[in-house]
Structure 1
Amino acid sequence: MDTLTHIALGACIGEAFLGKKIGRKAMLWGALAQSAPDIDFVGAFWLNTTENLLGHRGFTHSILFAAAAAVLLALIADRVHRPHDIRTRTWFLFFGVEVFGHIFIDAFNNYGVGWFEPFSHHRFSFNAIYVADPFFSIWPGIACIALIFLRRTSRARNAWWKFGIGLCSFYLLYCLFNKIKITREVDEIVARQGIPHQRYFTTPAPLQNWLWYVVSGNDSGYYVGYRSVFDSRKQMDFHFFPANRYLLETDSLRHDPDLQRLKRFAQEFYTVEKWSDTLVFNDLRFGQEVGWFDPAGKFAFHYYLSLPGDNTLVVQRGRFAGWNRAAFKSMGQRITGN
């Protein structure tokens, strides 16, 4: 999830565990601990783009790192707050819930999390919630603001942290329900329509959980479409994108380390295109810029193989490109099943 969500959720968990013991400092510790795995952002200062793609949500989002961070933070907090009556195991449990909670929640996005780094490079992606979903984030955000202003002795503090944690947890369960529903329907549709599905996935389109982005195909290419949880039709409209992987079979690219890292990062869900004289690598997992509005539109993640220096914002640059009033209205209509 995004940084602000982790901070707000971490603060609510901090209040739940230790608010009655150390006051608002519990929220600070919670926000810090929940944000700890995102220390990997510093890698951007010395890693190139493709190295940073694999570094992000890699080792610092592993079980090994989470365990070490929880122990270290527990020992530091125990010493900082002496004298106190907080048991050591309470510190360990608190920071364990915070740090492990971070790497657990991030796995529900489409980026992928390296839980078993450095022993395995496999990335876990449940593809159940968009990385920045306001319907998930708003509840702990509201609760966090309320907790900041409420007095330490206020009885309402207990209700607010339950509000923040409870509603975002309920929404996450709702997202999983939508995921199961969409996946079941897409399974039947691609089989009925004869769409190749050696590899396929479903993941939410931006900022919500009702319209889902669907990719299905193989090494020849991928069929891309959208399905709403409110759709009643037993079929889907797909747009085909050829993989064009033969374009990578050149002496200059065959052993290029950046390309090898891109392939590993994309987990086989990629196509290659030529834009004028520029060779472009598309990672399909991040969706299209406004695919529900323009089915043949560009993919949000596109890496210029011919111009590696122009890829510093490769994950972000296409995320909301092409958004305008018409595209936004089209999304609303598509969500309703129209």
Structure 2
Amino acid sequence: MDSLTQLTLGAAVAVVTLGRHSPHKTKLVAAGAILGTLPDLDVLLDYGDVVSNMVLHRAQSHAVFYQTLLAPLFAYLAAIFCRQRQYYWRWLLATWLIFISHSAIDAMTVYGTQLALPFNNQPYAVGSIFIIDPLYTLPLLIGVGLFLQRQHTPAGYRANMLGIALSSAYLLWTVAAQWQVSQIIKQALTAQQLNYQQLLVTPAPLNTLLWRFVVITEHGYAEGFYSLLDADNSLTLHHVATDPTLKARYQQLKSVQQLAAFSRGFYNLRQQNGQLLLTDLRMGQEGSYAFEFVIDSTSGMPLAQLPMRHNSDTALPWLWRRALGQRLPSPYWPSDQ
């Protein structure tokens, strides 16, 4: 999730664990917020190339085993910062819960979080919530804000608890909505007699009304959108043909193997203007992907990450109109779609 969500979640968990025991409420919130952002500092590490930097983000720093090992140290530092060494064991619990909740909410996104290192490197990704979702973050933010405003009253503590309850309820809603949309899409694809090998269903940016889906087919892949406010369950698909010989030719390249495993098969290889392009199909949409790399076809080394194509003047209005049930093609699709 985004940094604001993680620092707010960390602060909220710290308040739940120590809010009734700390005379230094502001320091308590600050310590929780700092602890909540620590796992994401792995983004500062350079693993040698842009593909490795992507697939190794949310790795060791997000693994439960390593978080458990490091929690005593950071709990001690937090207890000193808040002048609460007498509550070290509560700080240990708070620190561990903050680290675990950070990784857990990250695993609810589609990116992939390697929770089980060093025992296995499987990236866990439920994909039911977008990396930025105001309806998840705002209850936490308001709850922590009210706690700070009413530091010496039970009402502030209850407000924080309510914020956590509401955000958790919303998270459960995202899972239920994803399941419901997945069933609708599967039925619609069956009705269209489309044979597919894999299906990915994940929310569009900033909401859980509009959902994007990707299907891997025999001849390539297809993308579409479904809104919970659509009048019916019919689907419009944008089909993309792929060259199967490219995957066969380059499947032994390290970068291709890395992204193939990390994306769980939702990737594409294509050639454009003499360049070999490697794309993660899970994040962004056709014509505007978040992770697309130029690969040296001889050495397999990633040469560069391509910038994501943005067109906010048309994309944002389309997003909200499509979420409200207007059946409009993506602004990034070819005009004949």
TM-score > 0.5, shorter chain as reference: yes
Show the counterpart of 2:318.
330
Deviations 1:199-240 (A, max 9, x none): 111000111111001111245311211101122323211111
Q: What number of residue pairs does the alignment pair up?
A: 320
- Give the superposed CA RMSD: 2.4
d(CA) in 1 for partners of 2:251 and 2:87? 58
d(CA) in 2 for partners of 1:41 and 1:83? 31
d(CA) in 2 for partners of 1:192 and 1:59? 43
Instruction: Describe the shift of the 1:75–1:255 C-alpha distance in structure 2 as closer, same or farther (beyond 3 A).
Output: same
Q: TM-score, normalised by structure 2?
A: 0.86
Show the counterpart of 2:303.
309
Q: Which is worse superposed, 21-30 or 5-14?
A: 21-30
Q: Which is worse superposed, 27-36 or 120-129?
A: 27-36
Show the counterpart of 1:117.
117
Alignment counterpart, residue 27 of structure 1, candidates 20, 26, 29? 29
**Aligned-partner SS, 1:309:** strand
Q: Is the 8 A contact 1:241 1:271 kept in 2?
A: no
What displacement does 1:50 show? 1.3
Q: Is the 8 A contact 1:196 1:216 kept in 2?
A: no
Instruction: Describe the shift of the 1:300–1:76 C-alpha distance in structure 2 as closer, same or farther (beyond 3 A).
Output: closer
**Identical positions, percent:** 26
**Aligned-partner SS, 2:291:** strand
What displacement does 1:91 show? 2.7
Q: Is the 8 A contact 1:205 1:212 kept in 2?
A: yes
Show the counterpart of 1:294.
none
Show the counterpart of 1:61.
62
Q: Is the 8 A contact 1:77 1:91 kept in 2?
A: yes
Show the counterpart of 2:256.
259
**Structure 2: 5+ residue stretches without partners:** 327-337
Matches within 5 A, 1:152-167: 152-167=151-166
Q: Is the 8 A contact 2:113 2:125 kept in 1?
A: yes
d(CA) in 2 for partners of 1:255 and 1:201? 25
Show the counterpart of 2:142.
142
Instruction: Describe the shift of the 1:130–1:81 C-alpha distance in structure 2 as closer, same or farther (beyond 3 A).
Output: closer
**Structure 1: 5+ residue stretches without partners:** 292-296
Q: Is the 8 A contact 1:146 1:160 kept in 2?
A: yes
Q: Is the 8 A contact 2:17 2:94 kept in 1?
A: yes
Show the counterpart of 1:230.
229
Instruction: Describe the shift of the 1:82–1:305 C-alpha distance in structure 2 as closer, same or farther (beyond 3 A).
Output: closer
**Aligned-partner SS, 2:282:** strand
Amino acid at match of 1:309: L
Q: Is the 8 A contact 2:220 2:239 kept in 1?
A: yes
Show the counterpart of 2:310.
321
Amino acid at match of 2:36: Q
Q: Is the 8 A contact 1:283 1:302 kept in 2?
A: yes
Q: Is the 8 A contact 2:139 2:166 kept in 1?
A: yes
d(CA) in 2 for partners of 1:212 and 1:82? 47
d(CA) in 2 for partners of 1:20 and 1:298? 48
Show the counterpart of 1:191.
190
Instruction: Describe the shift of the 1:120–1:219 C-alpha distance in structure 2 as closer, same or farther (beyond 3 A).
Output: farther
